[in-house]
């Protein structure tokens, strides 16, 4: 029995290594990533919500590790199978089933599903070979497998993080430098979130890397003159700069699953109008190379100022943030605002089956709830008793924040000093000088949205299905 596990484990490792090496040789996505995508797409809402809550942004590495260990465990199990014929049949059957699923499922934009399926078949053949091999060969086979696996993982992450080259982008009418007067407030978030600190969320195992030379944005469906725009043609429609916060619907109180950026994009209306839209098209569907679709009623499209974004904080979009282009509507949560790696804008008269719909989320767009966050002092910080500056950010895109208040313990709300407003859709930095006597204190923050003087909703709510609400609350100890 124990020997069976060892033999099976070696076979699993050799099989996985073979599959990964084959995938790399075919310049395909890794088999682990392909299988991981199945996990992402088929996770039930409660499981996904729990995963996001616990793992935050470590979800993808954890999925990768679980897929790899499942394959290794399956190999080990095969090694203990008493009858060779049934064992082989089981392995081949399972591979065929997984392969068939892989070829039919959503792709990440590069490569067909048959490549990972072929790699899986190669891996199974390798594993079955090792199960039959003389004992002396088990060690070397496992080593070779581990080496193949390691080499492919390194290669994949190198290839996927390679940044595409893009031309310099110039706005029609550059905005003045982004300053709001809070530059010397210790501990407050930067006014513009640096790209490398900006949260990344999507349903891919690794970001698609797109060659702009071959990329096209098509405008199709109910239009008089369908378009197929190259990167240069899109940019040639004219670029505007705008400052806006982008918020993930999974952002919880105090989390940083949002960022504030200076975006550069073509007004969406300009792109649509270039295709002579027909009034019968009442729904706009935006589709990305990863097969992700999100739609919006055209009435809403006209009410909200959306953009086809190509730049972020002075440079082109990075691969992780959607190069070459993404759709963004300030004030709409990330999963409803539009896709990264945009490839198609389609006007249609039917409601669309968006990516999130069969996964239990409501038809959008879901508007960002006004919310605020304390940046400093940190939760559970120790400070000296006496005067303390409390600082943070508040957001209520697209209309803006008109006031921020904080409360200490069960005391009254104190109005914060607001930094200048960069743009209504941007987040706004705030500061309150308070005096803390020695002891443990609870600090809470709340904001008011300018639109309708709407006070931040104090009801504690989880992100699913309309975004978190409540007051970000921290405790500090003054001594």
Ligand X SMILES: Nc1nc2c(c(=O)[nH]1)N[C@H]1C(S)=C(S)[C@@H](COP(=O)(O)O)O[C@H]1N2
Return all residues near 40 (Cβ < 8 A) that are at least 6 apart. 63, 203, 204, 205
Min dist CB 329 to ligand X, Å, is: 11
Residue with tokens 């993404």: 326
Min dist CB 195 to ligand X, Å, is: 9
Min dist CB 210 to ligand X, Å, is: 11
328 or 404: CB nearest ligand X: 328
Residue 405: contacted member of Mo ion, ligand X, none (CB under 5 to 8 Å, by partner type): none
Interface residues with ligand X (CB under 6 A)?
Answer: 198-203, 246, 248, 288, 290, 292, 321-322, 334-335, 339-341
Interface residues with Mo ion (CB under 5 A)?
Answer: 201, 248, 334-335
Q: What are the φ and ψ backbone dihedral angles of 190, each rounded to 5 degrees?
A: -60, 150
The Cα–Cα gap between 24 and 105 comes to 20
Return all residues near 115 (Cβ < 8 A) that are at least 6 apart. 23, 26, 28, 29
Nearest to 422 by CA among 446, 405, 445, 398: 398
Residue 383: contacted member of Mo ion, ligand X, none (CB under 5 to 8 Å, by partner type): none
- Give, for 68, the enclosing helix (H) or strand (E): helix 59-79
CB 218 within 8 A of CB 344: yes
- Strand, coil or helix: what is 279? coil
> What is the dihedral sign for C-alpha 469, 357, 31, 162?
negative
Beta bridge partners of 227: 219
Nearest 5°: the CA angle 128, 61, 191 is: 160
129 or 164: CB nearest ligand X: 164
123 or 322: CB nearest ligand X: 322
98 or 248: CB nearest Mo ion: 248
Report which residue's Cβ sits closest to ligand X. 334
Residue 340: contacted member of Mo ion, ligand X, none (CB under 5 to 8 Å, by partner type): ligand X
199 or 329: CB nearest ligand X: 199
204 or 372: CB nearest ligand X: 204
Min dist CB 386 to ligand X, Å, is: 39
Residue 6: contacted member of ligand X, Mo ion, none (CB under 5 to 8 Å, by partner type): none
Min dist CB 327 to ligand X, Å, is: 8
Residue 377: contacted member of ligand X, Mo ion, none (CB under 5 to 8 Å, by partner type): none
Min dist CB 17 to ligand X, Å, is: 30
- Strand, coil or helix: what is 269? helix
């Amino acid at each position: 029995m124990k020997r069976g596990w060892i033999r099976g484990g070696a076979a699993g490792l050799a099989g996985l290594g073979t599959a990964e090496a084959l995938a790399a040789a075919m310049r395909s996505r890794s088999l682990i990533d392909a299988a991981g995508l199945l996990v992402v797409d088929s996770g039930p809402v409660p499981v996904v919500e729990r995963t996001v809550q616990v793992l935050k942004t470590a979800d993808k590495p954890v999925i990768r590790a679980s897929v790899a260990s499942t394959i290794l465990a399956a190999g080990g199990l095969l090694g203990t199978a008493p009858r060779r014929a049934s064992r082989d049949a089981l392995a081949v059957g399972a591979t065929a089933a997984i392969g068939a699923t892989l070829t039919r499922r959503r792709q990440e934009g590069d490569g067909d599903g048959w490549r990972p399926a072929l790699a899986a078949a190669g891996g199974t053949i390798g594993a079955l070979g090792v199960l039959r091999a003389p004992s002396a060969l088990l060690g070397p086979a496992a080593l070779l497998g581990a080496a193949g696996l390691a080499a492919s993982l390194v290669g994949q992450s190198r290839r996927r993080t390679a940044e595409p080259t893009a031309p310099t982008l110039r706005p029609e009418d550059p905005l003045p430098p982004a300053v709001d007067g809070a530059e010397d407030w210790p501990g407050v978030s930067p006014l513009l979130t640096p790209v490398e600190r900006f949260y990344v969320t999507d349903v891919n195992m690794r970001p698609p890397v797109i060659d702009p030379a071959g990329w096209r944005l098509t405008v199709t469906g109910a239009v008089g003159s369908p378009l197929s725009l190259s990167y240069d043609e899109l940019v040639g429609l004219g670029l505007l700069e705008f400052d806006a916060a982008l918020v993930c619907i999974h952002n919880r109180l105090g989390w940083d699953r949002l960022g504030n950026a200076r975006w550069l994009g073509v007004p969406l209306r300009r792109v649509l109008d270039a295709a002579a839209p027909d009034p019968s098209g009442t729904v706009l569907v935006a589709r990305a190379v990863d097969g992700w679709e999100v739609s919006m009623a055209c009435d809403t499209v006209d009410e909200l100022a959306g953009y086809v974004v190509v730049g972020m904080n002075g440079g082109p979009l990075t691969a992780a943030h959607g190069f070459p282009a993404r759709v963004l509507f300030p004030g709409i949560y990330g999963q409803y605002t539009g896709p990264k790696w945009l490839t198609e804008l389609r006007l249609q008269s039917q409601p669309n089956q968006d990516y999130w719909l069969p996964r239990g989320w409501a038809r959008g767009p879901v508007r960002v709830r006004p919310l605020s966050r304390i940046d400093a002092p940190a939760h559970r910080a120790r400070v000296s008793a006496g005067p303390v500056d409390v600082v943070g950010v508040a957001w209520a895109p697209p209309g803006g924040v008109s006031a921020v208040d904080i409360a200490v313990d069960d005391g009254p709300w104190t109005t914060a000093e607001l930094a200048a407003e960069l743009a209504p859709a941007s987040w706004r930095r705030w500061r309150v000088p308070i005096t803390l006597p020695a002891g443990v204190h609870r600090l809470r923050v709340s904001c008011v949205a300018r639109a309708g003087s709407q006070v931040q909703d104090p009801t504690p709510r989880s992100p699913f299905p309309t975004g978190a609400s409540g007051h970000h609350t921290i405790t500090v100890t003054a001594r």
